[in-house]
Homo-oligomer: A and B are copies of this chain.
Amino acid sequence: MSSERLIYLALGGAGEIGMNAYVYGYGVPGKERLILVDIGVTFPNMDSSPGVDLIYADIAWLEERRDRLEAIFITHAHEDHVGALGLAWQRLRAPVYARPFTALHACRKMEERGQDPAMITVVEPWPHRIEAGPFTVSFLPVSHSIPESSSMVIDTPAGRIVHTGDFKLDPTPLVGEPFDRALWEEVAKPGVKVLACDSTNVFSPHPGRSEATLGPAIRQLVERAPRMVVATTFASNIARVRTLAIAGREAGRSVCLMGRAMRRMIEAGVESGVLTDFPPTVPPEMAAGIPRENLMLVVTGSQGERRAASAQLSRGKYLGLELKEGDLFLFSSKTIPGNERDVLRIVNSFSEMGVDVVDDGADLYHVSGHANRPDLSTIHKLMAPQMVVPMHGEHRHLREHVKLAAENGLAAALAPNGTMLDLTGAVPVVAGHVETGRTYLDGKVQIGALDGVVRDRIRMALNGHVTVTLILDEDDTPLGEPWVELSGLPETVPGGAPLSGVLEQALERFLARADDRLLTDEDLLEKDLRILARRTTENEIGKRPEVTVVISRLS
């Protein structure tokens, strides 16, 4: 018994904000029974993952040990916590537990990837308990920017873990459960060994504000708007969508929700019972017939996503509706770092239409869903854990959260993805390192981030592509001339000659001098032609393209 241990291992989420995947284990080293908390996605970008559809944590380590995996728990329905469930489940095949609203989304994630949604068990919150090998797990309601978020209370033979998931201390979140101090005190009472804690807002110095503080300012803004009002926020922030819709109704406007994700979220809210008092809305196909000064749209796309409703409206008519001079567009959201360019593109398009854009520059129209620095200290003190394990953050957030824990007199460990912690003793100890990384869903195929596929695409994006084809006859003699096709390269060199012609001449001159040894050595010839094509392109136009050489032999 004394040789058993309690381990923690982030496969994703500790080193980025996104693709959360946390493993806990208990047992004899190397034979621990395991549970997984969350299995989310992160989103690709042109810089590092062009063309990729979704990204999630490399779960190879867990897949190899899936006979030891007892269960998967989903804390809440955000994409970075549940988005990869369908992709991962076919590799892990463990029972999944979630509360009703979250389970609705989890089921869809399973169905989208052809997996059986019946593998998901809908559970009641604390004090209901789920047995999973050596673990006993409860879903502890907590406030966040989506209903029914839960912290995991994980009891183990080594003590109690509280895994916060995403949370804030909001006494009035409007939709979903408020932060209930008494409940958390009850959880803390027997003593907490480990607090695995959200780090997102550790750099935000002021206490977080409640969702309920936004209503008056939003209402005032909508009331004063002379023409059409359009507001965007995160589709999953049901409380905010409701606040916006109520503001519209109270200003005497018909409210229309646009964007599939938002409509689906509201439906799921009603279906699961977390949303009981959403104001009436009109369907998009009716909205175009309503006088614009009586209309308010609540739309998807607060991050500038190109296919979402905000971006569609910024490009012109969408579902029969069009923004015009004097309309108001409200970002009831913040721009997630990295999305600035996409968001500003939309703002400038609206500016060209004469639309007045209001953002959250003055902190009036948005509050964060995560606990700020003072709120983290509040939880540290309330839980009084033996140790803190910062999670859900980039490296800088984790590091700062370790410092904050130290300020609060608590032991803490900086454990980014792949760092396995042994939590059995009085302080966290690094127990090893596991190779982690990212898995890309690329079309229908799952590939590794380092497989080279995306690297080749980035190279083509930076340098263009040249195809060289050459036919060799039965005597290994070039038949006709080599042929060059360009993709993503200028057609002419400075001076005006066609680049393909210049390359073909260089290749021809080279082949005229090539001896039999070279012409019969497939690999060497291919390599020489590739290098020559690249070097000539570089000399002529200053770019080093990717080159595909195809040599056909008639022999």
Q: Show the binding face of A for B, using Cβ within 8 Å.
A: 15, 45-47, 50-51, 53, 203, 337-338, 340-341, 344, 347-348, 351-352, 354, 357, 361, 394-396, 398-399, 416, 442-445, 447, 451, 453-454, 456-465, 467, 469, 471, 479-480, 483, 485, 487-494, 538, 540-543, 546, 548, 550, 552, 554
Residues A488 and B352 in contact, CB atoms below 8 Å apart: no
A485: chain B residues within 8 A (beta carbon): 548, 550
Q: Which residue from B457, B490, B493 sits with its C-beta under 8 Å from A461?
A: B457
Residues B465 and A465 in contact, CB atoms below 8 Å apart: yes
Residues B51 and A552 in contact, CB atoms below 8 Å apart: no
Q: Which residue from B45, B337, B398, B465 sits with its C-beta under 8 Å from A487?
A: B465
How far apart sit A110 and B394, CA to CA, in the bound complex (Å)?
44
Q: Which residue from B443, B445, B460 sits with its C-beta under 8 Å from A457?
A: B460
- Least Cβ–Cβ distance between A508 and chain B, in angstroms: 15
Closest 9 CB pairs of A and B: A443-B542, A461-B461, A457-B488, A444-B542, A50-B461, A51-B462, A443-B543, A456-B488, A460-B460
Chain B residue nearest to A338 (CB atoms) is B341
A457: chain B residues within 8 A (beta carbon): 460-462, 464, 487-488
Count chain B CB atoms within 10 A of each CB in A351, A459, A471, A538 and give the residue with the most.
A351
A51: chain B residues within 8 A (beta carbon): 461-464, 488, 543
Chain B residue nearest to A493 (CB atoms) is B445
- Least Cβ–Cβ distance between A379 and chain B, in angstroms: 22
A453: chain B residues within 8 A (beta carbon): 464, 488-491
Residues B394 and A344 in contact, CB atoms below 8 Å apart: yes
How far apart sit A394 and B349, CA to CA, in the bound complex (Å)?
10
How far apart sit A291 and B69, CA to CA, in the bound complex (Å)?
51
Residues A546 and B487 in contact, CB atoms below 8 Å apart: yes
A487: chain B residues within 8 A (beta carbon): 456-457, 460, 465, 546, 548
Residues B347 and A396 in contact, CB atoms below 8 Å apart: yes
A552: chain B residues within 8 A (beta carbon): 469, 471, 480, 483, 552
- Least Cβ–Cβ distance between A243 and chain B, in angstroms: 25
A538: chain B residues within 8 A (beta carbon): 443
A543: chain B residues within 8 A (beta carbon): 51, 442-443
A442: chain B residues within 8 A (beta carbon): 490, 541-543
Residues A337 and B340 in contact, CB atoms below 8 Å apart: yes
- Least Cβ–Cβ distance between A311 and chain B, in angstroms: 14
A443: chain B residues within 8 A (beta carbon): 490, 538, 541-543
Residues B462 and A396 in contact, CB atoms below 8 Å apart: no
A454: chain B residues within 8 A (beta carbon): 488
Given A357-B396, A471-B552, A479-B554 in contact, is the A344-B340 Cβ separation under 8 Å? no
A47: chain B residues within 8 A (beta carbon): 46-47, 341
Chain B residue nearest to A51 (CB atoms) is B462
- Least Cβ–Cβ distance between A55 and chain B, in angstroms: 14
A540: chain B residues within 8 A (beta carbon): 444
Given A348-B394, A454-B488, A457-B461 in contact, is the A542-B445 Cβ separation under 8 Å? yes
- Least Cβ–Cβ distance between A87 and chain B, in angstroms: 12
How far apart sit A456 and B395, CA to CA, in the bound complex (Å)?
36
A203: chain B residues within 8 A (beta carbon): 361
Besides the known contacts A445-B494, A460-B460, 5 further A-B residue pairs in the complex with CB atoms under 8 A apart: A51-B462, A340-B340, A348-B396, A453-B464, A461-B461
- Least Cβ–Cβ distance between A116 and chain B, in angstroms: 18
Q: Which residue from B444, B483, B541, B546 sits with its C-beta under 8 Å from A444?
A: B541
- Least Cβ–Cβ distance between A44 and chain B, in angstroms: 10
- Least Cβ–Cβ distance between A533 and chain B, in angstroms: 13
A460: chain B residues within 8 A (beta carbon): 457, 460-461, 465, 487-488
How far apart sit A269 and B46, CA to CA, in the bound complex (Å)?
38
A480: chain B residues within 8 A (beta carbon): 552
Residues A395 and B352 in contact, CB atoms below 8 Å apart: yes
A542: chain B residues within 8 A (beta carbon): 53, 442-445
How far apart sit A28 and B458, CA to CA, in the bound complex (Å)?
51
- Least Cβ–Cβ distance between A503 and chain B, in angstroms: 14
How far apart sit A464 and B47, CA to CA, in the bound complex (Å)?
15
- Least Cβ–Cβ distance between A140 and chain B, in angstroms: 30
Count chain B CB atoms within 10 A of each CB in A203, A442, A463 and give the residue with the most.
A442
A357: chain B residues within 8 A (beta carbon): 396
